[in-house]
Amino acid sequence: MSGDAAPQRPALLLVGCGKMGGALLSGWLDRGLARRLVVVEPGPGADAFAGRPGIELLASIDAIAGDVAPAVVILAVKPQAMAEVLPAYRRFAADALYLSIAAGKTLGFFARALGPEAAVVRAMPNTPAAIGRGIAVACANPRVSPAQRDLAERLLAAVGEVAWVADEAMIDAVTAVSGSGPAYVFLLIECLAEAGVAAGLPADLAARLARATVAGSGELARLSRDSATTLREAVTSPGGTTRAALDVLMAADGLAPLLRRAVLAAARRSRELAD
């Protein structure tokens, strides 16, 4: 028989099942990535998964079976709860990879909480993961093996694209661009709809036009081989309506410097929140 061997299906332990944890969980279940999948979630976040085959839902780590030996512990709890939650999972540090999607919690934080021998990947995903169209950027500590890195990539890729950085400091900028970025796009939809109303459109039509235009343009940018600049120029006729609008948006005090200030503010706040 030729070809590469099929990837192993590991045992996974998901800690926290909010929006992002739930999105990851859906991706893993849909793709059959886990041999055994245990979820610890004290709230109602995991209720939608009750009864799904191959998954065990627990309200507390205290209820976990003694034979659970996860290859990966996925940490998807809120950052402010991480320090309280994490000590109970230190027991797996000898063998498991820890994959954290908690904003602001650094590799140094996990080394202090789990011990210097713990293998940790820190990842920053974003909310389009809920429809399988997210992007996550990950950074690994020196204890992560090549096989563990590959496994982390497979788990993150279940809900979108994955990129890696060697310099953890870049995660602050990643957070500002892609982690927070969906909110900027949703604000664009809001503002475009409001501008349509100001130009005389009914509110429902303006909202529909704004949503469809942003969604369609994003999909075109994703599928096209052309750069965003080329795509923009293709819509812009000299002396036309688009050019009139772009003269405002591309002015010295227009969209580019405003968005630059916004991203730098988000990156600065990410650094301030880091542990």
Domains of the chain: 11-171 (3.40.50.720), 181-273 (1.10.3730.10)
List strand residue ranges (DSSP E) for 66-105, in order: 72-75, 97-100
- Size of the chain in residues: 275
* Residue 17 and residue 34 in contact, taking contact as beta carbons nearer than 8 Å: no
What pLDDT, on the 0 to 100 scale, is given for residue 38?
94
Q: Over the Cα atoms of the chain, what is R_g?
A: 22
Angle (deg, nearest 10), helices 228-235 and 203-223: 130
* Residue 125 and residue 156 in contact, taking contact as beta carbons nearer than 8 Å: yes
CA distances from 238 to 213, 229, 233, 246 (A): 22, 15, 10, 11
What pLDDT, on the 0 to 100 scale, is given for residue 54?
83
Among 46-55, 182-191, 223-232, 241-250, the range scoring the smallest mean pLDDT is 46-55
What pLDDT, on the 0 to 100 scale, is given for residue 2?
42
What pLDDT, on the 0 to 100 scale, is given for residue 63?
86
Burial per residue of 140-149, b for 16 or more beta-carbon CB atoms within 10 angstroms, e otherwise? bbebbeeebb
Q: What is the pTM of this model?
A: 0.90
What pLDDT, on the 0 to 100 scale, is given for residue 8?
67
Those residues whose C-beta lies under 8 Å from the C-beta of residue 143, and which sit 6 or more positions away, are: 116, 117, 118, 119, 120
Confidence of residue 7 (pLDDT cuts 50, 70, 90): low
Tell me which amino acid residue 236 is.
T
Q: Tokens standing for 242?
A: 């688009």
What pLDDT, on the 0 to 100 scale, is given for residue 1?
39
What pLDDT, on the 0 to 100 scale, is given for residue 40?
96
Own/partner pairs for 223-231, CB < 8 Å, 24+ apart? none
State the average pLDDT for the chain.
94
pLDDT in tens, 42-101: 999 899 999 888 899 999 998 887 888 999 999 999 999 999 999 999 999 999 999 999
pLDDT in tens, 187-219: 999 999 999 999 999 999 999 999 999 999 999
